[in-house]
Structure 1
């Protein structure tokens, strides 16, 4: 019997230059077309965010528009428990600073291909995703988890665009409570910094010794602002006094002339006192 010419599945991961592993993506089980995802372990030295731990974060490229964060979480849950999913239109640092705004107060997301950051509960899940065979595609739309596209997706997005007034009022009230709380904390922090760095009349700052092992307190924004204002006042007085170079020279000449005049007057006073001295022992 002649050997079969049919190519068997390699069951091995496909790794391309750059360290990326290629994962096949299929929209439905009966779909003939496949999409390619490129995944890599997220390792950035400058990344200090706790939301993207370096040993448990998977970086994904070429995420199609029909894959939402919920869909991506469902797809990669087969490799392990997923902690969080973040989709963005371009790579960048984590957006942890500042309050998390509701979707009603954020700009509309761009429609197109995205990049993703998938955080797993275990670091072994990252290795499992990278070692997934290239010839075993990940299926997006199934009977248990259908994904809407086309007109059905537009109808769903249009329906979800409406919001009830009471729900919107609740979101606004929650945001304002958090805003007031942050303002109070900021005012309290500035008050404590001002008390710790009070200057006396001559500009000296009292420095107290902290407990053993305490790090040096960095310059605060309030202290830097006071120092900058003081320097600006000095510079302004100097500019007003000596606006031109010739004014500075004339000021120096007048000061020297005043000193010489005062010296001559003092000499005349001393000579006059000597003449008026009545007691003469010799």
Structure 2
């Protein structure tokens, strides 16, 4: 602030601060801030925080370390399809995974229909976006802060409010024929998995069969595979073997005098060995050439 020559008049010095920046906004922690607008004419903006996914302990091929982008603060109105469309402007998106909280990748089990899944939690989520090229991660991290990503467009309408509730209510009805197809498909997959498990147990039982002398053949699995737990058949054979050994021991020491004689023979053998060791030590001492005394 400075005063001009006319008394009582003041002028403000021009501000040198820029109100908008075409550079990416990076905050502590290595996160890049991306602006998000629901519509192009919306005044309010939402913030996404992205960074490259680097978790060395995770060895899943579903999240390659050089092509995966970790995203925080994804709003509830952004589905996986919407997130894929938003980030496709940086590079071709291979897959999108939205979760309630960060964590390691869980191997997918049998795929269930939406009719048999528990209701999803409504709230902000975290995402893992896998690009086909590593340049997609770099482009997303260098996106300008003052260029917001628009969610709802004419080509990609996103329903909210009453329209979204009406759509969810309409989709909640189940058609009997469609439900029957889903159940039949699930049961076919279940029968197939059950047959595969029985075949695996049969092969494992064949590999662990005992030979005539009681030896068990143990085969080494593929490199990197975890050890599988013993099958029920293998546990049963091990239990039978222990029972046979216990029975032989009981028959051997059935009478008390047999047990006492066994102990006496063992003590006599130990004493004999002790006397032999004493004689051997005395002979070694006598044969020593170096005599300091």
The TM-score with structure 1 as length reference comes to 0.76
> Counterpart in 1 of 2:124?
113
> Counterpart in 2 of 1:32?
43
Contact 2:205 2:234 in 1 (8 A): no
Q: In the TM superposition, what whole-angstrom CA distance separates every residue of 1:68-109 from its partner, at most 9, and x where no partner exists?
A: 111111111111111111111111222333212111111111
> Counterpart in 1 of 2:229?
221
> Counterpart in 1 of 2:290?
none
For 2:231 and 2:152, the matched residues in 1 are separated by 58
> Counterpart in 2 of 1:199?
210
Equivalenced residues, count? 248
Per the TM alignment, residue 258 of structure 1 is displaced from its structure 2 partner at its CA by 6.2
Contact 2:32 2:50 in 1 (8 A): yes
Contact 1:194 1:222 in 2 (8 A): no
The secondary structure found in structure 1 opposite 2:20 is: coil
More moved, 170-179 vs 108-117: 170-179
Contact 1:13 1:134 in 2 (8 A): yes
> Counterpart in 2 of 1:246?
none
RMSD of Structure 2 on Structure 1 (CA): 3.4
- Identify unmatched segments of 5+ residues in structure 1: 243-250, 261-282
Contact 2:60 2:105 in 1 (8 A): yes
For 1:219 and 1:254, the matched residues in 2 are separated by 47
Per the TM alignment, residue 64 of structure 1 is displaced from its structure 2 partner at its CA by 0.5
Residue 219 to residue 33, structure 1, CA distance change in 2 (3 Å): closer
Are residues 1:134 and 2:145 paired? yes
Are residues 1:76 and 2:117 paired? no
The secondary structure found in structure 2 opposite 1:37 is: strand
> Counterpart in 1 of 2:63?
52
For 1:64 and 1:94, the matched residues in 2 are separated by 21
Are residues 1:61 and 2:72 paired? yes
Are residues 1:102 and 2:110 paired? no
For 1:185 and 1:21, the matched residues in 2 are separated by 47
For 1:92 and 1:21, the matched residues in 2 are separated by 20
Contact 1:87 1:115 in 2 (8 A): yes
> Counterpart in 2 of 1:87?
98
Per the TM alignment, residue 206 of structure 1 is displaced from its structure 2 partner at its CA by 3.5
* Shift >4 Å, 4+ stretches: 2-6, 207-210, 214-220, 231-235, 251-260
- Identify unmatched segments of 5+ residues in structure 2: 1-12, 264-293
